[in-house]
Structure 1
Amino acid sequence: MNRKTLVLPAVVGLLAPVLAGCGASDEAGDGGEPIVVGTTDTFVTTKAFPAPFDPALAYEAASWNILRNTFQTLMALPRSGGEPVPEAASRCGFSDQNNEQYRCTLRSGMKFANGHPLTADDVKFSVDRTLKIKDPNGPVSLLSGVDAVEAPNDRQIVFHLKSPDATFPYKLATPAAAIVDAQVYHGAKLRNGFAVDGSGPYTLRTEERGGQVVSAVFSRNPHYKGGLKLKNDQVEMRFLKNADAMEDALKKGDIDLMTRSMSPEQIGRLERGDTEGVDVVEAPGQEIRYLGFDTDDGTAGRKAVRQAMAEVVDRQALVRDVYDRTAQPLYSIVPSSVGSHVNSFFNKYGDPSPEKARRTLRAAGIDTPVKLRLTYTTDHYGAATAKEFRTLRRQLEASGLFDVSVKGVPWKTFRPAQSDGEYQVYGMGWFPDFPDADNFMDPFFAKNNFLNTPYRNDTIRDRLIPQTRRQTERSAAAAGFEQAQDIVADEVPVLPLWQGKQYVATRDDVTGAEWALSSSSVLQLWELGRETSG
């Protein structure tokens, strides 16, 4: 049977999947054959990334797929979205009116998968460790607001924050706050390689060749204590060379599910029902794609150049010609499915207009054509990325205002070089850590930001981000977020391009696929099971 399963948003800013038509339920049985998941993600150890599965370093969706299934955090986002709920903790909450002190109590009898006891000292050790290692490619920015961590006894943890932060429970629900075993991990060094010792729902065993993972087996952790209900005993993740190989494996039944990264053409074929026995799940997503700029560069550093690019780029044509209907144009760094979004770029620049761009450059005394080099990663965001950058080059050059060259670089080289400021203009994606507008502001514009960009705006950094974090009721932060988005549209330190939808393709005996992806595009392997007869 071929069918399409559609997941729709239940509330603005949060994703609550609802299954339309036939599909899985919470009653899917445990046990049975392992579920085999295919992906085009790659994990290889390099000098810049010697420890892909260490929570102090891992900070991208592929690695977090591993971490969320093997480590616990004090808090977790619930299945249907909403505010974080306790996971390794039995309860958590702010203990003061200013949102500067956050207390948690661990569940009783907690253990790591290796049998070691898990105590409040391990939680303190884990947070202190990430802050001490402070890897520039890691998630330390999510915890940078922590001033001190106390462990008064084996089950109590107290976080003292440098300033009020109503989003702190969300940050404790990310792998940045994953709890590691203090008996195994070094307090000041990364754990090189692919070994994992956590207390999450699964243990991990990897198969490696030449320093690269070729398969990963997730087995039910008998010591797990948390709020998740596992629908299977084992999941195997296979890492395939490209999207075509992944699709072939699904059709043959060698894998049961595939998601990252499917091409628009594949999604269209599978949705048309060309393959018997394969189902497709579609969900709204919060993944965004954008151009970043070295604002210290002699050319890209000139605001008029960036504004002229914003006036030329045709997002509608880009998503039509490259991504079909699997993406939608994005006119802000904050996606439309997140609260406080405004179409700031459209409001300022309107429809694409080479003539407006020409006037912008002329007023700034900039000669044309402006020479630019756009750099993208060849193996991280899917096969369509190369076509996307060829399309961007054609759009910019068709205006007569730009002379553009394009270069593709493997991710293992691209990310360190981008962080070191080696690229004039570069393509990046962002899968949010949590569904709040703060997570589309702080990582890009705060001190020690994720992009390591030289761009600085004191109004956003010193006033608007702190101001919005004081608002426990997040809708009250909307005015500050809207002002920040308008500033970004005016100064163009980044140029948002599109917002993606999420897709999962499965064999039709697999249940739970409608819950397999979180709103942040992270795989929730525990939701997957198999239909049983009878």
Structure 2
Amino acid sequence: MSRRSVLRGMLVGSAAISGSGVLAACGKREESGTTASTVADAAIQRGGTITWGKPAEATLLDPTTGGVGSSMELFQIVYDPLIAVDGELELIPGLAQRWESTSETEFLFTLRDGVRFSNGRPLTADDVVATFERYLDPRMASALASFISTETRVAKVDARTIRFTLPSPSSTFLSAMASAYAVILPMSEVAAGRIDLSKQLLGTGPFMVKSHKSGSGWVLVRNPHAWQEPIADELVIRIMPDDNARIAALRDGSIDLTYFDVPDAERLLADVPDTEVKVQDRTDFYALVLNATGRSSPFTDQRVRQAISYAIDREQIREIALAGTGLPTGAVSAAFGDVAPAPTLAHDPEKARALLAEAGESDLSFEIVYPGEAFGRIAQVLQQNLSAIGVKVELGSLEEGVWVDRVYTQRPPKFDATVSWYAAYVGPAQALNLWNVDISPFAFQVRDARTQSLIERAQQAPEGEAEEALRAASEAIDVQASTIPLVTKNATIAWRTDLIKVAVDDRDGNIHPLRHSPEYALLKAA
């Protein structure tokens, strides 16, 4: 498997989901930015089975190369990373109880004492070192290696301390360490050939795998050695791709919780009794991708690409296509708050018309292809926006496998434009890799030396310079206008308040709807 093929799965959100001085980690343990069921402890039942309606199967089981959303959801229940993330996207202790930077390129991590894998074996510093040696081996083509240089050195200092030495400063290192593709693996068992990571999962997380029927579901049971002991005994995962089937299962109580990507899920769930619905902000975002490298493509001309960008009304997309959810965004996801610059090429139809005239495009027409309902709604708004500046757009709905092949697999790509979505992860600079042509696997992406340089600067900037570096890189990406960020992509999480107590974060950057699964509890019968 090539590095680029792995990154394609990691970066392409829709493909991933179907089918983001001394730095100390003593961190806050209290959960901020979280909505919890208001249930008295006396009503909680210890033990029992929680049932999750999961929209998609986990198809890649090795965290080394499985950096796709449907798999990341499962990894983060069975495994743990060194660093965790709270509901405000702040870094907090995970398997590492603390960390510190001794210089701009050196980090020390101290392991939590007494952690064991679900087979009872103690977690060691050797497991951590061997895990990252695996992740950073260029031959493994790991998802993590796009954010942490393969030249990074990892060494054991003592039984509980690990040193990471980076080849250069990195503003993405710590946030990448908090990702689902940076979980710690049972490397003694792997080295001895007692476990095949592509088929088996063995971690330190709250639950461990009891059984799996591909395409149907999973049964996870309490990890008896978990350092985060779950309240429930069992977590049953039912694979349920159909939204209506999950709504029906919530209604009849055959599942306790689920989530939806369709933007009007909150409305669809309004009449389901005893159900609480939370629209969760995510760092992920929708984007309009223009094929700027095709020989006959009108988008080889930057003026045309910029005209398309100026024509887009992001607020209209949010209101009409996404039922008022999400935030208009640039290349740094708006979910990161104040550090995220607003899009540089804001809605301006007059500028769009002037650029088309300058480029000699008086009768521009092209097709926008898309793979599903939410994408189609966005495409319809884009069609209206572009019609207002005299551009004719045809819309083409594609089966997802065909869409992935035409947009992300074929060389050269076989499309004019498409609506897609991308994971932005935990750190503001991480999604910039989408526009880094030395890393991005996308054949439709424009190579621009200045943009490339600004992205690299943003991913290496020290804390005091980070915000300005992010702004400069984001503006350069906007001006390049080949992959145009639109609106952040939220998720709607729903659960039966008469059956289960849950906690759900306000924001998420790891595609981790069940981050609080150890706290989930069934309610006692009335």
2:302 is equivalent to residue 294 of structure 1: no
**Residue in structure 2 matched with residue 5 of structure 1 by the alignment:** none
**Residue in structure 2 matched with residue 427 of structure 1 by the alignment:** 419
Equivalents in 1 of 2:510, 2:197: separation in Å?
26
**8 Å contact kept, 2:425–2:431:** no
In structure 2, the residue corresponding to 1:129 is in which secondary structure?
Answer: helix
Matching of residues 116-135 of structure 1 within 5 Å: 116-132=121-137
**8 Å contact kept, 1:339–1:437:** no
2:226 is equivalent to residue 224 of structure 1: yes
Equivalents in 2 of 1:61, 1:444: separation in Å?
20
**8 Å contact kept, 1:127–1:143:** no
**8 Å contact kept, 2:147–2:172:** no
**Residue in structure 2 matched with residue 511 of structure 1 by the alignment:** 501
Deviation at 1:290, TM superposition (A): 0.6
**8 Å contact kept, 2:276–2:497:** yes
Equivalents in 1 of 2:443, 2:518: separation in Å?
35
Match of 1:106 among 96, 108, 111: 111
**Residue in structure 2 matched with residue 375 of structure 1 by the alignment:** 369
Equivalents in 1 of 2:286, 2:140: separation in Å?
24
Equivalents in 2 of 1:75, 1:187: separation in Å?
27
Equivalents in 1 of 2:505, 2:184: separation in Å?
24
Equivalents in 1 of 2:40, 2:479: separation in Å?
47
**Residue in structure 2 matched with residue 527 of structure 1 by the alignment:** 519
| Alpha-carbon spacing, 1:41–1:85, altered in 2? closer, same or farther (3 Å) | same
Deviation per CA, 1:61-108, whole angstroms, max 9, x where unpaired?
22211111111111111x343542332223321122xx2011122233
Deviation at 1:342, TM superposition (A): 2.0
Equivalents in 2 of 1:120, 1:416: separation in Å?
44
Equivalents in 1 of 2:399, 2:201: separation in Å?
29
Deviation at 1:530, TM superposition (A): 2.4
Number of corresponding residues = 488
**Residue in structure 2 matched with residue 361 of structure 1 by the alignment:** 356
2:463 is equivalent to residue 472 of structure 1: yes
Equivalents in 2 of 1:416, 1:67: separation in Å?
29
In structure 2, the residue corresponding to 1:386 is in which secondary structure?
Answer: helix
| Alpha-carbon spacing, 1:193–1:65, altered in 2? closer, same or farther (3 Å) | same
Deviation at 1:367, TM superposition (A): 5.3
In structure 1, the residue corresponding to 2:238 is in which secondary structure?
Answer: strand
Give me the CA root mean square deviation: 3.2
| Alpha-carbon spacing, 1:403–1:430, altered in 2? closer, same or farther (3 Å) | closer
| Alpha-carbon spacing, 1:71–1:336, altered in 2? closer, same or farther (3 Å) | closer
Equivalents in 2 of 1:315, 1:65: separation in Å?
29
**Residue in structure 1 matched with residue 3 of structure 2 by the alignment:** none
In structure 2, the residue corresponding to 1:143 is in which secondary structure?
Answer: coil
Write the letter of the residue equivalent to 1:448. I
Deviation at 1:395, TM superposition (A): 4.0
| Alpha-carbon spacing, 1:25–1:338, altered in 2? closer, same or farther (3 Å) | farther
Equivalents in 2 of 1:187, 1:393: separation in Å?
57
Gaps of at least 5 residues in structure 2 are 1-30
Equivalents in 2 of 1:306, 1:137: separation in Å?
33
| Alpha-carbon spacing, 1:121–1:336, altered in 2? closer, same or farther (3 Å) | closer
**Residue in structure 1 matched with residue 479 of structure 2 by the alignment:** 490
Identity %: 20
Write the letter of the residue equivalent to 2:63. P
Equivalents in 1 of 2:73, 2:41: separation in Å?
22
2:447 is equivalent to residue 456 of structure 1: yes
Equivalents in 2 of 1:250, 1:132: separation in Å?
44
**Residue in structure 2 matched with residue 10 of structure 1 by the alignment:** none
Equivalents in 2 of 1:127, 1:415: separation in Å?
32
Write the letter of the residue equivalent to 1:444. W
**Residue in structure 2 matched with residue 280 of structure 1 by the alignment:** 277
Write the letter of the residue equivalent to 1:171. A
Equivalents in 2 of 1:32, 1:233: separation in Å?
5
Deviation per CA, 1:126-166, whole angstroms, max 9, x where unpaired?
22212225566834212226521112444332111011124
Deviation per CA, 1:23-82, whole angstroms, max 9, x where unpaired?
2478984633311111322344xxxxxxx12111122322211111111111111x3435
Equivalents in 2 of 1:247, 1:137: separation in Å?
36
**Residue in structure 1 matched with residue 96 of structure 2 by the alignment:** 89
Deviation at 1:187, TM superposition (A): 11
